[in-house]
Amino acid sequence: MERLWAPWRMEFILNEKPSCCIFCLGEMQGEESEKERLVLYRDTLSFVMMNRYPYTTGHLLVSPYRHVGSLQDLTAEEMLQLFENVRRACEVTTKALSPQGFNIGINLGKVAGAGVDDHLHIHIVPRWVGDANFMTVVADVRVIPEGLLATYEKFHPFFREVRATAETQRNKGT
Catalytically active residues are: 121
Buried b (16+ CB within 10 A) or exposed e, 135-163: eeeeeeeeebeeebeebbebbbebbeebe
- 125, amino acid identity: V
- 99, amino acid identity: P
CB 150 within 8 A of CB 11: no
| Start-to-end C-alpha separation, the chain | 60
